[in-house]
Amino acid sequence: MEMNGKVAWVVGASSGIGAAVARELACRGATVAISARRDEQLREVSGGDMLVVRVNLAGMSNSIAAVLPGMLRRHHGVIAGIASVAGYRALPIVAQRDR
């Protein structure tokens, strides 16, 4: 699917599925913004071709609040939220790594 002229914002794009989705969208021609907690990894994923944005605990909520009004005006748009089990239960290895 060609994405020329489309804009995508991928939250959680510093690694894994989020990074892969961001890269694929960019390869298909989308203008891509990416955000996550790990700035250094985001810059690596972007390769200088994506807008890098930082996100905090309320990031998904803030992201939706930022884009929803325009989507409602246009009567068009998609929001896809993807989460990990860490959203339900803290994972010790992640808590130590992100300190």
The pair of three-digit structure tokens given for residue 53, joined into one six-digit string: 């944005």
* Rounded CA separation 34/8 (Å): 8
pLDDT of 41-63, one tens digit each?
999 999 999 989 766 556 778 77
Report if pTM > 0.75.
Answer: no
**Number of folded domains in the chain?**
1
Task: Write down the pLDDT at residue 81.
Answer: 75
Write the pLDDT tens digit of every residue in 85-94: 666 666 666 5
In a domain, 25, yes or no: yes
CB atoms within 10 A of CB 46: 20
Show the domain range for 80: 7-97
CA 72/CA 65 separation, integer angstroms: 11
Pairing of strands 51-54, 31-36: parallel
Burial of 1 (0-12, 13-18, 19+ CB in 10 A): exposed
For position 76, which CATH number holds? 3.40.50.720
